[in-house]
Amino acid sequence: MAIELSPPPEVHELAERTRTFIRDRVLPLEDAHDGDITAAGGDTFRVDLQQAAREAGVFAPHAPVEYGGHGLGMSDRAPVFEEAGYSLFGPTALNIAAPDEGNVHMLAHIANPEQKQQYLAPLARGEVRSAFAMTEPAPGAGSDPSALATRAVRADGGWRINGRKWFITGADGAGFFIIMARTSGEPGQRGGATMFLAPADSAGIRVGRHLDTLDRSMVGGHCEVFFEDLLVSDAAVLGEVDRGFEYAQVRLGPARMTHVMRWLGAARRGHDVAVAHVARREGFGSRLGDLGMVQKMIADNEIDIAATRALLTRACWELDRGEPAADATSIAKTFAAEAIFRIIDRSMQMCGGLGVSGDLPLARLSREVRPFRIYDGPSEVHRWAIAKRAVGAAKRALRDAE
């Protein structure tokens, strides 16, 4: 069977244009603001950056063509998103940052025509931002989504939602929320979740404090959000009642892979910075890059980059074929989240004191990539799921053989 690894010419060209745009327009801004998007101006900054991306013809590579995007599938997104991720501000510039990118993907697949008009169209065009509200403080939903405690109960012509969420990326300043709430069953039971769409200025939605996480590159922070007698109509249900967990999978598999694409770009930047440094810096009668233990770090980075890309390619191929790709996305996400952190960590080590200083971007890259081992499924949860499927298949094989 033939294996085609080269992207189509138009995708290659878009990736090259993205690379130039990021290098010339975005990286200098990231460096000037130490990767802190709030310090750079938050939403005002985002709007200007996105206008520059439109003018450069690189805006919204993922969005459907009818909503002004380039309509790329998962495999074609990979090289473009990786180039965008080379700068911490790149994904925001192209409108492919989390959670908006994943929300565009999910709305394109699940929303009805009216919902697409009201929510997807302005989101794809960068006119508004969005938030995806799933995680709750203990004892609510976290790694275990079945603990979902936010409730939606029947009210006149619609639903009344009550609950508390946290770590909701982009909540401060979002135009609308996608809310995961329990419509049947009890916390701890599988199923019974529904997704609701609600404008952020609805009475009954209150954005609370920002959780002071390590990272600084996502507009709108990671916030607590309170739903207090939020009334929504039946038209606010995304898809069908009680199918929320199913729809979450439509979003999560691809969203995990687009995180990998973007953070792989960041890891590549860290590696490039370190290799350039050790090729120049002299010590012990040679360049640092000629010393064996430094070369080991360089080679290990190259191996981690190549392996991440290979696992990503496989997972995207399965997703583009319409497969659930549960194993492939779990494997790629787990490996990538850990490999990307290792790459940045080795890059800091190679640069000595400079590596942990503000003179190079490595320290800020390190703080940005660390949370990726936790969100979109902690590494332990993915390993547990991969192993459970493997053991389950082995048990079925044993039963069949009896």
| Token pair for 208 | 């609370």
Identity of the residue, 204 or 371, whose beta carbon is nearer to ligand FAD in the bound complex:
371
From residue 346, alpha-carbon distances to 122, 186, 272, 294, 388 in Å are 41, 46, 12, 9, 32
- Contact residues for ligand FAD, defined by CB under 6 A: 99, 132-135, 142-143, 167-169, 213, 215, 222, 371, 374-375, 378, 380-381, 384
Q: Minimum distance between the CB of residue 278 and ligand FAD, rounded to whole angstroms?
A: 31
From residue 348, alpha-carbon distances to 118, 263, 269 in Å are 45, 16, 12
Q: Minimum distance between the CB of residue 37 and ligand FAD, rounded to whole angstroms?
A: 13
Q: Minimum distance between the CB of residue 137 and ligand FAD, rounded to whole angstroms?
A: 8
Q: What residues contact residue 200 under an 8 Å CB cut-off, 6+ apart?
A: 131, 174, 175, 176, 177, 207
Identity of the residue, 141 or 343, whose beta carbon is nearer to ligand FAD in the bound complex:
141
Element (H, E) at 292: helix 292-320
Q: Minimum distance between the CB of residue 334 and ligand FAD, rounded to whole angstroms?
A: 12
163 in Cβ contact with 136 (< 8 Å): yes
Q: What residues contact residue 332 under an 8 Å CB cut-off, 6+ apart?
A: 256, 257, 260, 308, 311, 312, 314, 315
- Neighbouring-strand partners of residue 181: 194
Identity of the residue, 10 or 380, whose beta carbon is nearer to ligand FAD in the bound complex:
380
Q: Minimum distance between the CB of residue 58 and ligand FAD, rounded to whole angstroms?
A: 25
Q: Minimum distance between the CB of residue 187 and ligand FAD, rounded to whole angstroms?
A: 13
Q: What residues contact residue 25 under an 8 Å CB cut-off, 6+ apart?
A: 52, 56, 93
From residue 281, alpha-carbon distances to 157, 216, 301, 333, 361 in Å are 69, 30, 19, 34, 17
Place of tokens 């191929």: 317
The rounded distance, in Å, linking the Cα atoms of 110 and 245 is 13
3-state helix, strand, coil in the chain (%, to 5): 55, 15, 30
Q: Minimum distance between the CB of residue 102 and ligand FAD, rounded to whole angstroms?
A: 9
Identity of the residue, 55 or 380, whose beta carbon is nearer to ligand FAD in the bound complex:
380
Identity of the residue, 52 or 381, whose beta carbon is nearer to ligand FAD in the bound complex:
381
Identity of the residue, 142 or 270, whose beta carbon is nearer to ligand FAD in the bound complex:
142
Angle at the Cα of 37 (from 31 to 42), degrees rounded to 5?
140
Q: Minimum distance between the CB of residue 382 and ligand FAD, rounded to whole angstroms?
A: 9
Identity of the residue, 21 or 372, whose beta carbon is nearer to ligand FAD in the bound complex:
372
